[in-house]
Amino acid sequence: MNHFVRRTIELDASDMDLGGRACDGHVWYRIDGEKRRERDLGSYDPLETDVLILNLLNEKRKTQLLEEGATDFSYRLKIDDGDRPRRFRATAYSDYDHAALNMRAINNEIFPLDELGFHPKIQKGMMFRHVRDGLTLITGVTGSGKSTTLDAIVDANNEDYPGHVVVIAQPIEYMHESKKCIVRHREVGKDVTSFKDGIIQALRQDPDIVVIGEMRDPETIQAALEITDSGHKVFSTLHTSSAMETIDRIVAEMPPDEQQRVRHRLADVLRCVVSQKLLPKIGGGRQLAKEVLWLDSSARAAIKNDNVGEVYQMMWQGGNQGQTTLEQDLYRLTRKNKIEAEDAMDYANNKKRLRRLF
């Protein structure tokens, strides 16, 4: 297994997959966004990969896999040259009566926040020193670099202000070292039973910043809004592809009789939404494209009045505040020869708007 995992690093792949009939006996890797068989690693019967995968799990994880059909865990690979071990976010799951596995490589290096291309006003708003409360959401589909952006924000605050950061995730990915901040890592299923419990417990742990790995259910969303409402600075992620979809998704997760109250509460505590995608880059690799919403009084009023459609126009016209729509950013990256126009069109949320820009 270490041999397979090490190949992920050698290939500069983001993910490794094996097990079950679907993998056709091979180990697969995602390289520059595309899944590929690695035939050099040989071919394995599903029963052989069952044994490999089950031996990665402790008794609790095995039971969870057998009873619930999936279990998440982290994996460490020691590197020969003495560097810190490489960490992987892993999920084992059932694939038609066989065990399957995905491992996502976690970067040992954190991208500096300065290199992610945020406007100075947006970057300043992400720093606890300048803005000490509010909810910031990093959104996008799986594999769009949300964790990388979140880690960059945590590290920038860790180097800037002497405070206390509580990270609640499942599983913990990058392990931050305490610099100016105390940075605590609480893994759901290991250190705390659920995201909701971790958030509620954090209220009594004197945090300045709370990082919630994912807002995946109504209970976690309610708890996140509550801790933000109490005056903390909160960062989290959501699987949505635009700022408008993010707002609608949070409200729609709630029962109908709660939605109006949650809409008002969200408008009051939400500070920033970053929706991002990774595109093929000219010359190889991946290029980050993003949509950025910074909420002012007009955006808050639009959300409270359920006029979320107005928010897009506010982003479109809010360039001097650091805001941008995804289409404006795709157009900018195309003009800078970072991405192909055809790829920009494929990844756009609003193709009509992008076509008009071109």
Q: Mind giving me the DSSP string for 69-136? A: SEEEEEEEE--TTSPPPEEEEEEEEEETTEEEEEEEEE-SSPPPGGGGT--HHHHHHTSTTT--SEEE
Residue range 2-106, CATH number: 3.30.450.90
Domain 2-106 shares a fold with domain 113-357 = no
The pLDDT assigned to 106 comes to 86
Q: What is the pLDDT of residue 351?
A: 94
Handedness of CA 1, 176, 107, 221 (dihedral sign): positive
Inter-residue contact 46 to 98 (CB < 8 Å): yes
Domains in the chain: boundaries: 2-106, 113-357
Q: What is the pLDDT of residue 82?
A: 59
In whole angstroms, give the CA distance from residue 321 to residue 145: 24
pLDDT of residue 85: 82
Q: Which two tokens stand for residue 10?
A: 């050698």
**Helical pair 297-304 and 259-269, crossing angle rounded to 10 deg:** 170
Ranges in the chain, pLDDT < 50: none
3 state DSSP class of 302 = helix
Phi/psi region, residue 35 (left: phi>0; alpha: psi -120 to 50; beta: rest), is beta
Cβ atoms of 167 and 154 closer than 8 Å: yes
- Is 113-357 assigned to CATH 3.40.50.300? yes
Residues in the chain, overall count: 358
Q: Provide the pLDDT for residue 78.
A: 82
The predicted structure's pLDDT at residue 81: 61
For the CA atoms of 58, 63, 65, 66, the dihedral, rounded to the nearest 10 degrees, stands at: 140
For the chain, where are the E strands, in sequence order? 15-19, 27-31, 34-38, 70-77, 86-95, 98-106, 134-139, 164-169, 182-187, 209-212, 233-238, 270-280, 286-294
